[in-house]
Amino acid sequence: MSPLELVVYFAIAVVCGCAAHAIRGDTPRGLSYVVLVGFLGASLGPSVARGLHLREVLAIGIGQSHVPLLCSALGCTVVVALAHLLRPPTGRWQPPH
């Protein structure tokens, strides 16, 4: 993998991670968290899509490989939702008045 391919993968991970947070409606916790979510989602989404025999939509070619952007963004959204469900609650819960 060339350095240019790594930079493009990094950019895709950041964009997909930020998009997942925007879809979820919360704010990202920092660049490292967004990149981690982006890489996890970008690998999880296409793997699940291949397992379900879904067609790749909106794929971008990088060197000899390609990245399905829509599957990556959906994978990131799932990873963000799971991270949100697994994190401990912040503050005390107050019943609505």
Q: Residue 95 domain-assigned?
A: no
Mean pLDDT within 2-12 = 75
User: What does residue 93 show for φ and ψ, rounded to 5 degrees?
Assistant: -80, 135
Q: Any residues with CB less than 8 A from the CB of 26 and at least 6 apart, and which? A: 80, 84
Q: Residue 16 domain-assigned?
A: yes
Q: Residue 23 domain-assigned?
A: yes
Question: How many domains would you assign to the chain?
Answer: 1
- H/E element holding 35? helix 31-51
* pLDDT tens per residue across span 24-68: 666 656 777 777 877 888 778 888 888 888 887 777 777 777 777
For residue 92, pLDDT over 70 is answered with no
For residue 23, pLDDT over 80 is answered with no
pTM of the full structure = 0.68
pLDDT given at position 13: 77
Domain containing 22 equals: 3-83
Distance CA 17, CA 34 (A): 5
Q: Would you call 86 exposed, middle or buried from its count of C-beta atoms within 10 A (0-12, 13-18, 19+)?
A: exposed
Q: Residue 90 domain-assigned?
A: no
Q: Residue 63 domain-assigned?
A: yes
